[in-house]
Structure 1
Amino acid sequence: MSDEAAALAAFGYELGLLKRIRRTGWWHAGVRDPESVAEHTMRSAQLAALIATEEGANPERAAFLALWHDTQETRTGDLPHTATKYLNKPEPREITADQTAELPEGSREAVRAAVDEYESKESPESLCARDADKLEMLLQAVEYRDIGVQRVDGWIESARKGLRTESARRIAEAAVTLSPLTWRDR
């Protein structure tokens, strides 16, 4: 077995942790079993592609950026917003550099470039991916609200205020008025 293949396999195992790491902020709202970081990432990537399509940006690139936006949480866990007062925010690029240090050059550079672009907040695709991250949280909050979790309004408003693209704003407006329980009726 090659060292490159072993490094890719090891990173694949590390990424698998995202399936078990829960989005911890939801515990503050009373959600007993919140979605995993991997579940959040999946819908974020899908939404990033849709938002980018509507915004005239590259949907594949936006989805790719969204796929990597929380991978650093394999090393830090999911830090809730309430922790930011007490902790210095970990630098995603630094964590990604450590995570990818042993990967073959092409894979290493692809992941690092995606995280850098996402964190730079400059390209249209990064703005779409960042909006997808917020929009996914908003959708999740509405879903939790519709099953009886009461303390999610702050998450919904925070997400709405942070949206930068017109498409994401329109989707958010529709999401807060359309019940997740009736979406199939449309």
Structure 2
Amino acid sequence: MMTDADTAGAMSFLFEVGMLKRAKRTGWWIAGINNPESIADHSFRAAITGTILAAMEGVDPARVALMCVLHDTQETRIGDISRIGKRYLKAADNPSITADQIAGCPPTVVDTITSAVAEYEAATTPEAIVARDADKLECLIQAVEYQHQGITTVQSWIDNCRAALKTDSALRLADAAIGGEPLTWLSNSPKPRQD
């Protein structure tokens, strides 16, 4: 039976992850992006990307999307440490941070989130591999979008993200992003009806 304390613990976690809507992805500042995407922006599109990749790879899209949504929630406590920052800083591991974040949640919530974060971090299941590819592919897509907006300093993000991809589907999508135009979807949308 869920207690009032369990409910309050779950709500506390929900308030905490709301910070991800305001917290910016710091690596983009290094590239010269003045107002980069938020961590929540990244996680949202990573989850959609993961859903698509999972369908293409024949694995569980719901599991992949869950891992993508949760993969950066720990950054409410440690911030978004850029790639260069990780050379100098040692943060607690993500499962430990997650355990602290959800300690007050109902046991079923703890089990669900702990399991997904542990699976993502272990990176051994097909779903975790796809989720990790979704994370990198979303970063690559964002870099391509920034590049099309005239930011010339993001090529290394594109190259590094593409090199990290493991699945054939992610590699194909990466190549489509690199060779594509971010606004082509506009020409595919129906014309407004004239009544």
Q: Same fold (TM over 0.5)?
A: yes
Q: Distance in 1 between matches of 2:170 and 2:185?
A: 18
Q: Distance in 2 between matches of 1:13 and 1:110?
A: 18
Amino acid at match of 1:100: I
* Residue aligning to 1:83: 85
Q: What secondary structure, in the 3-state scheme, does the structure 2 residue paired with 1:113 have?
A: helix
* Residue aligning to 2:108: 106
Q: What secondary structure, in the 3-state scheme, does the structure 2 residue paired with 1:84 have?
A: helix
Q: TM-score, normalised by structure 2?
A: 0.93
Amino acid at match of 2:178: V
Mapping 1:10-25, distance limit 5 Å: 10-25=12-27
Work out whether residues 23 and 38 of structure 2, in 8 Å CA contact, stay in contact via their aligned partners in 1.
yes
Q: Note the alpha carbon deviations across 1:98-137, whole angstroms, 9 max, x for none.
A: 1111111000111010000000001111011100000000
Q: Note the alpha carbon deviations across 1:49-90, whole angstroms, 9 max, x for none.
A: 110111010011110111110000000011111101111243
State, as a whole percentage, how many aligned pairs show the same letter. 45
* Residue aligning to 2:184: 182
* Residue aligning to 1:144: 146
Corresponding position: 1:74 with 2:76:
yes
Q: Distance in 1 between matches of 2:71 and 2:136?
A: 12
Work out whether residues 25 and 80 of structure 1, in 8 Å CA contact, stay in contact via their aligned partners in 2.
yes
Work out whether residues 146 and 181 of structure 1, in 8 Å CA contact, stay in contact via their aligned partners in 2.
no
Whichever of the two has the greater Rg, that structure is 2
Range 17-26 or range 84-93, more displaced: 84-93
Q: Distance in 2 between matches of 1:138 and 1:70?
A: 17
Q: CA deviation at 1:181?
A: 2.8
Range 167-176 or range 3-12, more displaced: 3-12
Q: What stretches of structure 2 of length at least 5 have no aligned partner?
A: 189-195
* Residue aligning to 1:30: 32
Q: How many residues align?
A: 186
Work out whether residues 47 and 132 of structure 1, in 8 Å CA contact, stay in contact via their aligned partners in 2.
yes
Amino acid at match of 2:129: L
Work out whether residues 54 and 130 of structure 2, in 8 Å CA contact, stay in contact via their aligned partners in 1.
yes
Q: TM-score, normalised by structure 1?
A: 0.97
**Greater helix proportion:** 1
* Residue aligning to 2:193: none
Corresponding position: 1:39 with 2:48:
no
Mapping 1:54-69, distance limit 5 Å: 54-69=56-71
Work out whether residues 45 and 64 of structure 1, in 8 Å CA contact, stay in contact via their aligned partners in 2.
yes
Work out whether residues 119 and 128 of structure 2, in 8 Å CA contact, stay in contact via their aligned partners in 1.
yes
